[in-house]
Amino acid sequence: MEIRVRESCIRCGRCARVCPSQIFVQEEPRGAVSLRQPGNCILCGHCVAACPTGSVAHEGFPPERVHAFDRRDLPTPERVELLLAVRRSNRALSDRPVPPEWLDRIIAAADRAPTASNARELGYTLVTDPERLREVTEYTLRIFRRLERLLANPLIRPWLRHLMPGAYRYLPVFRRLRLEYAEGRDRILRGATALLFIHAPRASRFGVEDANLACQNASLMAEALGVSQIYMGFVLTAVRQDRRKRLNRMLGLQGRRIGAVLAFGMPEFLYPNYIDRDPAPRN
């Protein structure tokens, strides 16, 4: 990895202070900046982003990939707080598809999220085909049906009640989901027209955490675009209970771990109000 410090360096030391790999070295304040083991670079870009004079020449971030901006153009804290306050799971979805260019912006926003060690191992699989969406719902319901039978088994029920005491409160939920689907009501995807799977290599240590960081970015961008987003906890539950990883095979994600799933749809209406929740306890 070729990295250089140009002669225009003003020796402010910002690169040395922000580099997580300690590649940039400044022995004393306003001293010359040198490089140490540039091969350890994790391509986070902090050095290039922090330099006020464009003096860091980095092979991974050529000039066309570096953009100056005015922080006054950023949304105010109040506007950020408002976006966070109004974001909700709106399950009243229309049958209008989400515009493809909006889905592209949502995925691009997800991909800007930080990842552990800047590993950037996440992948994004978008499903919009109605038949494939139906398959995801039916897969989820099949896994739940197996869980129903397992939890209801009188031979192992006493053990499971001890090992998984919270699981039994979902038994009536699983049954209701299955019965309503048989009557034509999909309570899994709720009529969503797009499903985003965020995944990482199975060996990735922080793949699930990275996926959920990306998920939050996607959710906020969707809210800003007026697109409903629903975190697919039921689908994730099914994936985690399925040792044969059938959904992974269905989506061509062998060797990957699905860490987050978001459903998207165009809402029938937008919420006109937001509410204040009880604040979380603080120590």
Cα(152)–Cα(143) distance, rounded to whole angstroms? 14
pLDDT score recorded for residue 165: 72
pLDDT score recorded for residue 157: 73
Maximum Cα–Cα distance across the chain: 77
Is the pLDDT at 85 greater than 80? The verdict is yes
Cα(100)–Cα(86) distance, rounded to whole angstroms? 24
pLDDT score recorded for residue 170: 82
Closest CA to 222 of 81, 78, 87, 123: 87
C-alpha 276: how far from chain center: 25
Buried b / exposed e over 90-111, threshold 16 CB at 10 Å, is bbebeeeebeeebbebbbebbb
Give the residue, 246 or 151, on which the prediction is more confident: 246
Q: Quick: pLDDT tens for 165-188.
A: 777 788 889 999 999 999 999 999
Placement of tokens 């306050």 in the chain: 85
Single-letter amino acid code for the residue at 47: C
54 Rama class: left (phi>0) / alpha (psi -120 to 50) / beta: left
Are 198 and 260 in contact, with CB atoms under 8 Å apart?
Answer: yes
**CA atoms in the 13 A half-sphere facing the CB of 43:** 12
pLDDT score recorded for residue 127: 98
Q: Helix, strand, coil % (nearest 5) of the chain?
A: 45, 15, 40
Cα(157)–Cα(159) distance, rounded to whole angstroms? 5
Between the alpha carbon of residue 233 and those of residues 50, 189, 259, the distances in Å are: 38, 10, 11
Q: What would the two tokens of residue 170 be?
A: 């979902």
Q: Quick: pLDDT tens for 113-159.
A: 999 999 999 999 999 999 999 999 999 999 999 988 887 787 777 77
pLDDT score recorded for residue 159: 74
pLDDT score recorded for residue 232: 98
CATH architecture of 3-65: 2-Layer Sandwich (3.30)
Q: Tell me the whole-structure pTM to 2 decimals.
A: 0.93
Q: Quick: pLDDT tens for 200-228.
A: 999 999 999 999 999 999 999 999 999 99
**Residue 1 banded pLDDT, cuts 50, 70, 90:** confident
Is the pLDDT at 162 greater than 90? The verdict is no
Is the pLDDT at 259 greater than 90? The verdict is yes
Are 245 and 255 in contact, with CB atoms under 8 Å apart?
Answer: no
Q: Which CATH superfamily is domain 86-272 in?
A: NADH Oxidase (3.40.109.10)
Q: What would the two tokens of residue 66 be?
A: 């570096």
Ranges of each domain in the chain: 3-65, 86-272
Cα(262)–Cα(192) distance, rounded to whole angstroms? 10
Cα(264)–Cα(166) distance, rounded to whole angstroms? 29
Placement of tokens 């902090």 in the chain: 46
Average pLDDT along the chain: 95
| CA dihedral sign, ordered 143, 148, 149, 150 | positive
Q: Above pLDDT 70, what percent of the chain?
A: 99
Is the pLDDT at 14 greater than 90? The verdict is yes
pLDDT score recorded for residue 46: 97
Tell me, what DSSP letter sits at residue 63? G
Cα angle 243, 145, 203 (rounded to 5 degrees) comes to 20
pLDDT score recorded for residue 136: 98
Closest CA to 93 of 216, 186, 217, 220: 186
Are 23 and 3 in contact, with CB atoms under 8 Å apart?
Answer: yes
Tell me, what DSSP letter sits at residue 125? E
